[in-house]
A and B are shown apart, each in its own frame.
Chain A
Amino acid sequence: MSVKLNTRQVGDVSVVDVSGRITLGEGSSALRDALRDMVSKNQKKILLNLGDVSYIDSSGIGELVSGFTTVTNSGGQLKLLNLTKRVKDLLQITKLYTVFDVHEDEAGAIRSFA
């Protein structure tokens, strides 16, 4: 299964439910396009729910980082929600875990944008 992205609005926070594989090709470019689209629409508060991401490779990690930079540089915030053990391990190995603001509870994550 490739990646699926569903975006919903909770107050002024855009929550993107991501599922499937974020790997080089369709998966990573879909995520990149979605984030760029949100930035172009001036959406400043973005929460990526990665709870159903089954696989991520270095290209996918690169897209998370690039997305974080794009959103931050536009004056917005990008946060992560519900990391699977695999994604969490990869972010820790690559020393990126502390770069992102990571949450395990959606309501708390939404409140943290205020």
Chain B
Amino acid sequence: MRDPARHESETVERFLDSTLDSVDHAEELAVGVAQRAGFGEEDLLKIGMAVRESMVNAVVHGNRYNANKKVRFSVAKNTERFTIRIADEGEGFDYEDVPDPLAEENLLRGSGRGIFLIRTFMDELKINRLELGGMEFIMVKYMVPK
């Protein structure tokens, strides 16, 4: 179990530009909160990478670097869950159509591993298509491993 003294709640929310600098910024913010929450080095790497993959998806595939579109990013932790939400303003996509990157015929594809890595590194991943357009990734790491 992680240090109970660190179990205060904390929430960080930002509206970020659709740039690769925002990807780095979001990763730094999430890892900072995760560090204060008491996660160890291995989990920090996994959380950072999940945020990076999700932000790249939002900036590149969702908002397509459009300067008029923002990425809504938030990190929230409580005693049980460390939750990251990343939402874009793009056209959305059907994530079930993304090919399985582990299938033999897809192994040599140059892309398509982002969502798989997020699922691997986080305890939960929900992907929602938003009513006003865009996709939202909700990623959770448990404060106490189950």
What residues of chain B lie closer than 8 Å to A99, measured between beta carbons? 107-108
Asked whether, in the complex, the Cβ of A24 is within 8 Å of the Cβ of B20, the reply is yes
CB-contacts of B41-60 with A (<8 A): 45, 49, 52-53, 56, 60
The answer, yes or no, to whether A94 is at the interface (CB within 8 Å) is yes
Of A10-18, A38-46, A63-71, A101-109, the one contacting chain B is A63-71
- A23 vs B16: C-alpha distance in the bound complex, in angstroms? 19
Asked whether, in the complex, the Cβ of B107 is within 8 Å of the Cβ of A61, the reply is no
Asked whether, in the complex, the Cβ of A61 is within 8 Å of the Cβ of B113, the reply is yes
What residues of chain A lie closer than 8 Å to B45, measured between beta carbons? 86
Which residue in B49, B53, B60, B102 is a CB contact (below 8 Å) of A94?
Answer: B102
> Interface size on A (CB < 8 Å)?
20
Binding site for A on B (CB under 8 A): 20, 23, 45, 49, 52-53, 56, 60, 101-102, 107-111, 113-114, 116-117, 120
10 A-B pairs closest in CB distance: A66-B110, A58-B113, A62-B110, A58-B114, A25-B20, A62-B111, A95-B102, A24-B56, A57-B52, A58-B117
